[in-house]
Amino acid sequence: MSDPAERKGISRRGLIGAAGAAVATGVAGYAAHSVLAGEASQAADANGPVEFHGPHQAGIVTAVQDRLHFAAFDVTTTKRDELVALLKEWTAAAALLTAGRDIGQYGAVNGPGEAPPEDTGEAVGLPPARLTLTIGFGPSLFDKRFGLAGKRPAALVDLPHFIGDDLDPNRSGGDIAVQACSDDPQVAVHAIRNLARIGFGRVAVRYSQLGFGRTSSTSRAQTTPRNLFGFKDGTNNLKLEDADKLEQQVWVQPGDGAEWMAGGSYLVARRIRMNIEIWDRTSLGEQETIIGRGKGTGAPLGKADEFDPIDFAAKNADGEAKIPMDSHIRLAHPQFNNGAELLRRGYNFVDGSDGLGRLDAGLFFLAYQRDPRKQFIPVQTQLARTDTLNEYIHHVGSGIFACPGGVTPGSYWGEKLFA
Amino acid sequence: MSDPAERKGISRRGLIGAAGAAVATGVAGYAAHSVLAGEASQAADANGPVEFHGPHQAGIVTAVQDRLHFAAFDVTTTKRDELVALLKEWTAAAALLTAGRDIGQYGAVNGPGEAPPEDTGEAVGLPPARLTLTIGFGPSLFDKRFGLAGKRPAALVDLPHFIGDDLDPNRSGGDIAVQACSDDPQVAVHAIRNLARIGFGRVAVRYSQLGFGRTSSTSRAQTTPRNLFGFKDGTNNLKLEDADKLEQQVWVQPGDGAEWMAGGSYLVARRIRMNIEIWDRTSLGEQETIIGRGKGTGAPLGKADEFDPIDFAAKNADGEAKIPMDSHIRLAHPQFNNGAELLRRGYNFVDGSDGLGRLDAGLFFLAYQRDPRKQFIPVQTQLARTDTLNEYIHHVGSGIFACPGGVTPGSYWGEKLFA
């Protein structure tokens, strides 16, 4: 691996071997190159780049992209300096990758052809496809290895055992998580692969998960997608247009504790296996009663349109609540959770089949929040206890990560944590 | 499951509950409904439908879509009549799905809400996204169960063991394969899921594989994509524009034997795991020597452009062949394989990580051909013996399937086989 100060991004749209024009990465010591001609036009392009730098990390409120590659890493080095060096290299690479650039030359480090290519190459020619890379630090990073124990935020709790949890330790935890989202899976895979490669000898992939078909919207400009139960998912999700609510519910505020987390957010990731074959044998009426919405329209039961306000007090002629007491949308609603909301940006997954001829399918749930103690944990505690949907789902993987605030030019992922 | 004669396709673009307009499926007994207003405009749409009926099955020479869901099924019924009934139901459903329709009502079979929805619903609102569904029959279907032993084509051989094969029986074989290709993974997953569901009690999924980032083009209108080694793949693939070559190399001709296969093709599917972490540590020069092409340009070594003709006789100043004798493009080239070519339409895959922190990544190889005895088998025998690339790949799954000719209105998948 070359010294990161020499890493030059190559436009994937240009020819290999073109002069090594690179975006400014902002990291001290990195050469800032002029932006390639034609680059500006990408910003307005649906395939274009999402700005990497800013007060918050991209990939949280960013309008949800269509594809996911999520990776959790174990840190294998025990040296704090090596970890910091890696985070600097990763930050520089992430700035290039999200700009739609490869992370370096093809073997030009020690002369043409004599070294491995710096970039693995499978994204050459592909546009940025709105790639975002979002980092988070898991509770285990704050053990004795790196002197970070005193920096662990109180909100970065170990998640409790919820009723019904059936967690696979090999799909849970992780010292560091990187969420790659893009409209092109090859771009997302390329990013995670190259970060893993840069980290060789310092981190190892603990688990990774591909996803498709975003199961939430984070912008009113997006339609509401459907999950693998066939229902619209995320109708009442937090949206990037609701700036005030984001401050209340998503972004860690100064004074929340752990000042290095200001402007950041806490991510809870849950691999939720869906028993879709069993669900598919359930009647439409039962499905709609369990969810609390119409399957076709997505409207709350008793209403006509997806975005009609939910009337939890409405009753049928028989006196029963139109939105049943144990329906998912009631139990998960902020009205019954002390106002707690989550910014969800999960993905559907199908990882082939299991040994019993069933699709290994489900929802890779990703939720960002200001404080899991007040948001995910109480909501999930209630859902795990009473949600009828539990007959059709199992939580089989789990992680919690502290995602710091945004990277400003000149800083790197986690700089305030290690300061 | 309702009687297939009552299955009515629902436009995914319309409202649920709209009058059950359906395309004509061609199967006797199916109601032919008028095409919905606005339907015609889809044909010219990149998100539009690919015609299901025709002299050949769609999904073979069809310009390769971006996503794959491939499923191999074991037939669990022992009754020939039940298998035929299933193939009829599948054909009708496939005609609807590829037209961008759901396969039935939402619970309207026994009155609203009292039955499970006929369609699982997750593709509601999504366009056809060029979905194709292609069926093939494996050697095991021709055992004693269904009276088909006498119909087994001589060309549908059991593949021999190739040097280096490390096949997982749980990812190999299968009585029936269905290849779903679409530009939208949710559409492809929805199709396989609903076919599996229709088949409940008669077939069970043996294995399934998702793929992304097509690794070949089948049309000159498509650019050449890159595989996970970072190289352009499929530059010299057979193309749909080469009608004469397709007759010679892809389509089974009358007189080839097994008349029910005329107009069909033989599919070889191989799950090829790539050791990408090891490959990534190989020098650029070594990578290019192994493949025989430049990594950036995709040009044959010694040439400038991807589509420059390969000059296998050209020598470097030191007298060595510019395209090394053990390079992949030489060993796989028709010039050194008695003219044998393959129509490849494989996909990249990443199925998370293995237990050693490596990405479970590779190429799901799909190749169509007129006779595997003259095409895939001799080519792969040579490659398995001498290709330097074998240090970086392992074949871990394998299947061979006889894919019959196209479905004409009024017929069903495999009708000539069961006639």
For residue range A11-59, what is the model confidence (pLDDT) as tens digits? 665 433 333 333 333 322 222 222 222 333 333 357 899 999 999 999 9
Q: Please report, to the nearest 10 degrees, the dihedral formed by the alpha carbons of residues A318, A322, A325, A330 taken in order.
A: -170
Other CB atoms within 10 Å distance of the CB of residue B320: 10
Under 8 Å between Cβ of A168 and A397: yes
Exposure letters B281-307 (e unless 16+ CB within 10 A, then b) = ebbbbbbbbbbbbbbbbbbbbbbeebe
Q: Which of A321, A117, A92, A365 is nearest to A233 (CA)?
A: A365
Give the single-character DSSP code of B45: S
Chain A hits for B284, CB-CB cut-off 8 Å, are 106-107, 112-117
pLDDT per position as a tens digit, B159-194: 999 999 999 999 999 999 999 999 999 999 999 999
Q: Which of B117, B223, B348 has its CB closest to that of A295? A: B117
Under 8 Å between Cβ of A291 and A327: yes
Tokens describing residue A136 = 């988070």
Task: List, as ranges, residues 80-119 from A with C-beta within 8 Å of B.
Answer: 106-107, 112-117, 119
A140 min Cα distance to partner chain B (Å)? 18
> Across all residues in chain B, what is the average pLDDT?
88
pLDDT per position as a tens digit, A181-194: 999 999 999 999 99
- Residue B37: predicted pLDDT: 27
- Residue B10: predicted pLDDT: 65
Give the single-character DSSP code of A29: T
CA distance B334 to A154: 65
Furthest-apart CA atoms within chain A: distance in Å = 81
The model's pTM is 0.90
The reply to whether B206 touches chain A by the CB within 8 Å rule is yes
Per-residue pLDDT at B238 exceeds 50: yes
E strands, B94-175, in order:
101-102, 132-137
Exposure letters B129-155 (e unless 16+ CB within 10 A, then b) = bbbbbbbbbbbebbeebbebeebbbeb
Q: Which of B213, B218, B260 is nearest to B236 (CA)?
A: B218
Q: Which of A112, A122, A284 has its CB closest to that of B107? A: A284
Count Cβ atoms within 10 A of the Cβ of residue B160 and give its class: 0-12 exposed, 13-18 middle, 19 or more buried.
exposed
Under 8 Å between Cβ of A115 and B283: yes
Q: Is B209 left (phi over 0), alpha (psi -120 to 50) or beta?
A: beta
Under 8 Å between Cβ of B25 and B15: no
Inter-helix orientation angle B80-98/B185-198, to 10°: 150
Q: Which residues contact A27 (CB under 8 A, 6 or more apart)?
A: A4, A88, A91, A92, A95, A410, A411, A412
Under 8 Å between Cβ of B123 and B12: yes
Q: Which of B205, B287, B296 has its CB closest to that of A124? A: B296
Q: Which of B225, B211, B212 is nearest to B397 (CA)?
A: B211
- Residue B213: predicted pLDDT: 84
Question: Three-class SS of residue A238?
Answer: coil
Extents of the domains making up chain A? 1-419
Consecutive H or E run containing A372: none
CA distance B39 to B369: 34
Instruction: Report the residue of chain B nearest A286, measured CA to CA.
Output: B113
Distances (CA, A) of B72 to A227, A306, B76, B87, B369: 24, 38, 13, 14, 19
* List of long-range contacts for A81-84, beta carbons under 8 Å, 24+ apart: A82/A202, A83/A146, A83/A202, A84/A414, A84/A418
Question: Three-class SS of residue B17?
Answer: coil
pLDDT per position as a tens digit, B322-338: 999 999 999 999 999 99
Beta bridge partners of B132: B181
Other CB atoms within 10 Å distance of the CB of residue B339: 12
Average pLDDT for B55-68: 96
- Residue B9: predicted pLDDT: 66
CA distance A62 to A117: 31
CA angle (B67 as vertex; A218, A393 as ends), nearest 5: 55
Query: How close are the terminal C-alpha atoms of chain B, in Å?
Result: 26
Do B352 and A229 count as a contact with CB atoms less than 8 A apart?
no
Interface probe, candidates A76, A168, A291, A359, chain B, greatest B C-beta count within 10 A:
A359
Q: Which residues contact B245 (CB under 8 A, 6 or more apart)?
A: B238, B341
Question: Three-class SS of residue B328?
Answer: helix
- Residue B112: predicted pLDDT: 59
Chain A hits for B193, CB-CB cut-off 8 Å, are 228, 276, 359, 361
**Residues of chain A below pLDDT 70:** 1-45, 105-113
Q: Which residues contact A363 (CB under 8 A, 6 or more apart)?
A: A215, A227, A228, A233, A272, A274, A346, A347, A348, A349, A393
Under the banding of pLDDT at 50, 70 and 90, the label for residue B6 is: very low
CA angle (A219 as vertex; A216, A223 as ends), nearest 5: 60
